[in-house]
């Protein structure tokens, strides 16, 4: 066997090792990425219209807290999630139905009666009765739910 | 660019020496049975990769283990593939490692100066059996539960130490959440740590000594 063919044999084996190694890496890597990422892309199904409670509980001038239990499928577990909603009205005709999730980084806000403000304890976000930002880092007002009033009951759309 | 980078890296790490030491060894003319060790190593990689992936969804508690395994198999994208690779890889591992050991015995590769390679291989074989034993319980189905009941019961049979051995294995008297949790811990932390250390030693020794030649007819050790 000449020097030259010896060298090409070596080159061939080197290329083959690299090629097979690379192919195996891809063969494992792609399914691994799909396995890890694809399940998280699944959209959560909304529950649609859900009854929040009687509209008569809302005191005009004060945000009133309602809570709602929602069933959520997470993986192999069916979980009960509690949604907290503030309903505010000034005149009993126009309502603001607000999420209690702070728009800054999703901590929960609460209504402080003495100060007449919503307050988020995580980073001192402050909102007024209507959910407008008064102070602190929140980038936008509290999120509103789509809602409807039927037979003196208030319903929200849970998506 | 690539050459410059590899030179830069070599000046600081000396990786080329290591690379050449691993891949440019002289290899005697041997047969395909000598690839069983590399095959075992490949299955180790398969088990490590798929095993790590499975822990992303698997939960080792009695109320979630079975459901999470079902979820992996039927709901997660390619979950059937990842679990299947781990499941069949486990069986293949025992078979291939056993054949590897037979090859080493029949062709006399365990002899001087490769005794330590052989000893580490024997421990590695026991570690593989340990992997099989602890992994078998994790799906938490009927087969897993009763197989582990029987297996741990056997550990309880020797006089004097039997009862203690059984309790240590089960984490108590019965087969419970404690058993599942400790089998999981052993399966994903204790055994992999031992396995990787010993594989490192084993492969280092193979590279250091080079692989053995096949015995020749008519040769004997007294010459």
Q: Which of B56, B50, B127, B43 is nearest to B89 (CA)?
A: B43
Q: What is the CATH number of the domain that holds B205?
A: 1.20.810.10
Average model confidence (pLDDT) for chain A?
Answer: 91
Q: Determine the Cα–Cα distance for residues B198 and B33; give it in Å rounded to an integer.
A: 22
Confirm whether B126 is domain-assigned.
yes
Confirm whether B1 is domain-assigned.
no
Confirm whether B68 is domain-assigned.
yes
Residues of chain A contacting B76 with CB distance shorter than 8 Å: 35, 38-39
In the prediction, which pLDDT does B204 show? 97
Tell me if residue A50 falls in helix, strand or coil: strand
pLDDT digit string (tens) for A70-124? 888 888 998 888 999 999 999 888 999 999 999 999 999 999 999 999 999 999 9
Residues of chain A contacting B16 with CB distance shorter than 8 Å: none
Q: Which of B73, B218, B222 is nearest to B138 (CA)?
A: B73
Residues of chain B contacting A17 with CB distance shorter than 8 Å: 23
Residue B76 to residue A35, Cβ atoms within 8 A: yes
Confirm whether B5 is domain-assigned.
no
| Residue B96 domain boundaries | 31-209
Q: What is the mean pLDDT of each run of 10 residues along chain B (223 residues)?
A: 94 95 88 96 98 98 97 97 98 98 96 97 98 98 97 96 96 96 98 98 96 81 51
pLDDT band at A4 (very low <50, low <70, confident <90, very high): low
pTM strictly above 0.80: yes
Residue A35 forms contact with B (CB below 8 Å) = yes
Minimal C-alpha gap between A37 and chain B (Å): 9
In the prediction, which pLDDT does B222 show? 52
Residues of chain A contacting B75 with CB distance shorter than 8 Å: 39, 75-76
Minimal C-alpha gap between B215 and chain A (Å): 26
> How many distinct structural domains can be found in chain B?
1
**Residue B7 CB coordination number (10 Å):** 11
Tell me if residue A135 falls in helix, strand or coil: strand
- Pick B67's closest partner by Cβ from A28, A35, A76: A76
């Amino acid at each position: 066997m000449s020097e030259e063919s010896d060298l090409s044999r070596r080159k061939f084996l080197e290329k083959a090792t690299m090629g097979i190694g690379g192919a195996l890496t891809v063969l494992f890597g792609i399914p691994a990425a799909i396995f890890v990422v694809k399940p998280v892309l699944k959209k959560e199904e909304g529950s649609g219209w859900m009854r929040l409670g009687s509209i008569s509980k809302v005191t005009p001038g004060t945000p009133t807290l309602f809570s709602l239990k929602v069933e959520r499928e997470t993986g192999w577990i069916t979980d009960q999630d509690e949604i907290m909603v503030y309903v505010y009205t000034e005149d009993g005709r126009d309502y603001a139905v607000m999420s209690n999730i702070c728009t800054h980084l999703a901590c929960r806000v609460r209504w402080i009666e003495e100060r007449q403000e919503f307050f988020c304890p995580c980073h001192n976000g402050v909102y007024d009765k209507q959910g407008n930002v008064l102070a602190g880092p929140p980038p936008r007002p509290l999120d509103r739910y789509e809602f409807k009033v039927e037979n003196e009951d208030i319903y929200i759309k849970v998506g | 660019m690539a050459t410059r980078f590899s030179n830069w890296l070599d000046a600081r790490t000396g990786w080329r020496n290591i690379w050449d030491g691993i891949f440019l060894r002289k290899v005697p003319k041997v047969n395909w049975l000598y690839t069983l060790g590399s095959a075992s190593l490949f299955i180790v990689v398969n088990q490590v990769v798929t095993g790590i992936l499975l822990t992303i969804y698997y939960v080792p508690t009695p109320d979630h283990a079975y459901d999470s395994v079902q979820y992996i198999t039927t709901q997660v994208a390619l979950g059937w593939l990842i679990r299947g690779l781990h499941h069949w890889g486990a069986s293949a591992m025992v078979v291939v490692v056993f054949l590897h050991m037979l090859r080493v015995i029949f062709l006399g590769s365990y002899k001087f100066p490769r005794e330590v390679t052989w000893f580490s291989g024997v421990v590695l074989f026991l570690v593989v059996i340990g992997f099989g034993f602890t992994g078998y319980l994790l799906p938490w189905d009927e087969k897993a539960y009763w197989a582990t009941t029987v297996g741990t019961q056997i550990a309880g049979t020797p006089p004097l130490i039997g009862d203690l051995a059984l309790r240590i294995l089960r984490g108590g008297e019965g087969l419970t959440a404690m058993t599942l949790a400790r089998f999981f811990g052993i399966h994903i932390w204790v055994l992999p740590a031992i396995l990787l250390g010993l594989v490192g030693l084993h492969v280092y020794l193979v590279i250091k000594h080079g692989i053995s030649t096949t015995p020749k007819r008519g040769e004997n050790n007294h010459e």
